[in-house]
Amino acid sequence: MDVLSGGIPIVYRTVIRPALFRLPPENAQRLAESALRIGPLWRLARPALAGFNARLRTEFAGLVVPSPIGAAAGLDKDCKFLGSLLDLGFGFATGGTVTLGPRPGNPRPRLARQTRSEALVNAMGFPGAGLESASERLSKLTRRAGRLFVSISGTIEDEIIQCHRRLEPLCSLVEINISSPNTGGLRAFHEPGRLRALTQSLASGKRRPLFVKLPPWERGRESRAIGLSLAETAVDAGADGVIVANTRPVEYVGMALGRGGMSGLPLYDDTLRMVAETRAALGKRGAIVACGGVFTASQLWRLLAVGASAAQLYTALVYRGPGLPGSINRGLVRLMEKADCKSIVDIEGAPPS
Ligand SMILES: Cc1cc2nc3c(=O)[nH]c(=O)nc-3n(C[C@H](O)[C@H](O)[C@H](O)COP(=O)(O)O)c2cc1C
């Protein structure tokens, strides 16, 4: 077992990743997705890979998950391999972002690697097969529905409401994505009045926790006030929590659009700052799921220490491979043992590891 869990990161770094990175990013992505769709392979590997441990089990927004590290939206846009992501050791996995109709996404190139800094820039613009296809796939996964999140979006309220109505019964938590920098129209929901009305209408009859995924905000009083006003608006309007945050908007000549969203390691310090600021603004209200630049167990520890209940990742999986969730799980258990923390909630307020 240990040979597999220890060997996979080495094989990924020395053999698989160099081969994948020779391909254009979207082709490499498609190949990785094909591998993740071989469900029985990952089910077999799960005992060696996943690294689950009773100490990692935690609860937020009324959900119990076996680990506080989850797979972020965008990894499995069409909900084709969420079960495999759980088998890798993610405590929960997010499907989507699902939109009402099928969408081709933005023109290519729309995905680039920045290998030295372990970052990606994307301007995908929600390519996907749409609501019908996602709901069909999710309805076959209900056995694992306790750990499946779904991200939904749209450019008008009615699209989002229809996605919510259809997908809520098929998952355990719904994220509203108002923050992709690559999709025209989403900025409308950065207007607090519009976000409040949308959140209230979704929250009024909700049967599953509802989270809002926020856009990132920069250092400085003015930006902070804008970012935090969205967090407070969402929670006051009935959301159970917020995801902090989406990719960082950047100008990028390598994208057909000339701009995109940066993800990966360079985001981490900002994620830590934004989570701490959000916790200070919300007090005890609402759960915070951190997202942006999480690669290691000690990074996860610090996010939990400043008030996150859990975290999600995407880019680290591209750079570190399928052994990553398990190695974060095992690393977090070691840190907890060292600090004598019996459960994840004990980490809040703990000193940095
Ligand atoms: C190629 C790509 C596609 C993404 N698609 C989505 C998406 O559809 N919906 C969404 O909410 N976030 C999407 N994201 C953002 C991630 O969920 C996450 O917020 C961001 O990448 C920061 O986390 P990371 O540094 O761990 O990657 C995407 C990110 C990447 C790299």
Q: What distance in angstroms lies between residue 3's CA and the mean position of ligand 1's atoms?
A: 31
Calculate how far, in angstroms, residue 60's C-alpha sits from the geometric centre of ligand 1. 22
Does ligand 1 come within 6 angstroms of the Cβ of 99?
Answer: no
Predicted pLDDT of residue 352: 77
pLDDT tens by residue, 284-331: 999 999 999 999 999 999 999 999 999 999 999 999 999 999 999 999
What confidence score (pLDDT) does residue 169 get?
Answer: 93
Q: Which two tokens stand for residue 226?
A: 């804008």
Q: Stretch 162-182: mean pLDDT, rounded?
A: 92
pLDDT for res 144: 66
- pLDDT higher than threshold 90 for residue 185: no
Residues 75-91: tens digit of each pLDDT: 999 999 999 999 999 99
The set of catalytic residues is 180
* Residue 313 near ligand 1, beta carbon < 6 Å: yes
What pLDDT does residue 146 have?
Answer: 74
Nearest CA to ligand 1 atom 7: 74
Q: Whose CA is nearest to atom 22 of ligand 1?
A: 292
Q: What does the mean pLDDT of the chain come to?
A: 93
Mean pLDDT of the 18-34 span: 96
Mean pLDDT in residue range 170-183: 88
Q: How far is the CA of 314 from the centre of ligand 1 (A)?
A: 6
| Pocket perturbation via mutation, ligand 1, pick of 103, 126, 247, 295 by most ligand atoms within 8 A of CB | 247
Q: What is the mean pLDDT of residues 193-212?
A: 96
Is the shortest distance between the CB of 74 and ligand 1 below 6 Å?
yes
The CA distance from 100 to 115, in Å, is 34
- Give the integer Cα–Cα distance in Å for 100 and 262: 25
Q: Would you kindly state where each structural domain of the chain is located, as residue ranges?
A: 2-347
CA distance 258 to 251: 6
Compute, in angstroms, the gap from residue 339 CA to the centroid of ligand 1.
Answer: 32
Answer whether 267 contacts ligand 1 (Cβ < 6 A): yes
What amino acid is encoded at 62 in this protein? G
Q: Is pLDDT above 60 for 1?
A: no
What CATH topology corresponds to 2-347?
TIM Barrel (3.20.20)
What SS3 class is residue 257?
coil
Top-confidence residue, 193 or 1: 193
Kind and range of the H or E run holding 259: strand 259-264
Alpha-carbon gap, residue 83 to 40, rounded angstroms? 10
111 CB under 6 A from ligand 1? yes
204 CA from centroid of ligand 1 (Å): 28
Report whether pLDDT(38) > 80: yes
* Nearest atom, ligand 1, residue 243 CA: 19
Cα–Cα distance, 184 to 164 (Å, whole number):
20
274 CB under 6 A from ligand 1? no
pLDDT at 182: 73
pLDDT tens string 150-161: 999 998 899 999
Share of the chain above pLDDT 90, in %: 87
**Cα(166)–Cα(83) distance, rounded to whole angstroms?**
20
User: Would you state the structure tokens that stand for residue 280, as one six-digit string?
Assistant: 């200070």
Residue 319: partners with Cβ closer than 8 Å, 6 or more residues away: 17, 118, 264, 265, 295
Percent of the chain with pLDDT over 70: 97
Question: Tell me, what's the pLDDT at 145?
Answer: 60
pLDDT in tens, 221-234: 999 999 999 999 99
Asked if the model's pLDDT at residue 141 lies above 90, the reply is no
